[in-house]
Structure 1
Amino acid sequence: MKMLRKDDKVVVLTGKDKGKQGEIMAFDFKNDKVKVKGINIITCHVKAKRQGEVGGIQKREAFIHISNVLPVDSLTGQPVRLSKLNRK
């Protein structure tokens, strides 16, 4: 059985980032979600916890469901189903 791995290129199928490509950064296996670099950017308001730390607004990637992404074939550059994926 073929599976997605970290640093695989994927394309987003639905949502505000539809059609964009990025690399997988992290997995959440319990909820079947992935974090893709540059996709689904959210703003987090961070409070300084210790003296000397800087608080503020940070932008970071959020998890999206794994069914909303398709891997990109390294040979053709087109999105493909997992059963037809060629890796190099």
Structure 2
Amino acid sequence: MATMKIKKGDMVKVIAGKDKDKEGKVIAVNTKNNTVLVEGINMVTKHAKPSMANQQGGIIHQEGPVDISNVMYLHKGTATRVGFKMDGDKKVRFAKKTGEVID
């Protein structure tokens, strides 16, 4: 299995779909389905029954999954592709536009 280029906590820009050109922080990454949850992007409504955790119940607005191919990593405010290279004996991500190491 290939390593995911987007990680939890990354800032990303949506490049396709109804929320195109919006930016947000990655909340979760699902490697099995190749999807990400991005803060404030692809908001869906969910009807919840009253429970111990949610006494009121009602309609809840939450983020829906976005395919990982529809988001791009943001490096210093500009969208860029992400690559991998060896830094000594450690594999690191780098921004292809600038060549700078991300982490």
Q: Which amino acid aligns with 1:78?
A: T
For 2:37, which of 31, 35, 38 is the aligned residue?
35
Point out the structure with the larger strand share: 2
Normalising by structure 1, we get a TM-score of 0.86
Q: Distance in 1 between matches of 2:69 and 2:22?
A: 15
1:3-18 equivalences in 2 (<5 Å): 3-18=5-20
**Deviation >6 Å, runs of 4+:** none
Q: Distance in 1 between matches of 2:4 and 2:65?
A: 21
SS where residue 72 of structure 1 aligns?
strand
Paired residue for 1:62? 64
- Give the CA deviation at 1:2: 7.3
Determine which structure has greater relative contact order: mean sequence separation of CA pairs < 8 Å that are 6+ residues apart, divided by chain length: 1
Instruction: State how many pairs are aligned.
Output: 85
Q: Distance in 1 between matches of 2:68 and 2:4?
A: 14
Q: Which amino acid aligns with 1:14?
A: A
Q: Distance in 2 between matches of 1:3 and 1:25?
A: 15
SS where residue 62 of structure 2 aligns?
strand
Q: Distance in 2 between matches of 1:42 and 1:3?
A: 25
SS where residue 55 of structure 2 aligns?
coil
Root-mean-square deviation (CA, aligned residues, Å) is 1.9
Paired residue for 1:79? 79
